[in-house]
Structure 1
Amino acid sequence: MPDLGKYAVEVGLAYGLSGVLILGLVALSVLRAGRVRRQLERVEARRHG
């Protein structure tokens, strides 16, 4: 780990916030994928039904 000197806190916070945002986007994507899959299953069931 490089020595960040007086910017260590800011860099750490930036990394932390970036990680939280990325995890949030992944979670939203997974939730939306499940919702879309269920909708598609309903449409296909009606079509073949």
Structure 2
Amino acid sequence: MTMSLGPYASFIVTSYAAAAIVVAILIGWVVLDYRNQARRLRELDRSGVTRRSGRSAVDTP
């Protein structure tokens, strides 16, 4: 199936390529940030820091 994009073919192809590149960069950024945050949480857990959200209202001093 061949599509004719007309005189604006280069603009259309460039726009789709730019959008695909931006989406790929955002996905990569999220993956790297997730790994960084997970690593930082593991370090905090190892050092003995606890999460405040784990306490109930009754446990508050």
Give me the TM-score of the superposition, normalised by structure 1.
Answer: 0.76
Whether 2:35 is the aligned partner of 1:27: answer no
Measured after TM superposition, the shift of residue 44 of structure 1 is 1.2
Bigger relative contact order, structure 1 or 2 (CA pairs below 8 A, ≥6 apart) = 1
User: How far apart, CA to CA, are the structure 1 residues paired with 2:19 and 2:48?
Assistant: 43
Measured after TM superposition, the shift of residue 8 of structure 1 is 0.5
> Rg bigger for which structure?
2
Give me the TM-score of the superposition, normalised by structure 2.
Answer: 0.62
Over 3 Å off, 4+ runs: none
Name structure 2 gaps, 5 residues minimum: 1-7, 50-61
Match in the other structure for 1:39: 43
Identity value in percent: 22
| Alignment RMSD (CA, Å) | 1.2
User: How far apart, CA to CA, are the structure 2 residues paired with 1:43 and 1:9?
Assistant: 51
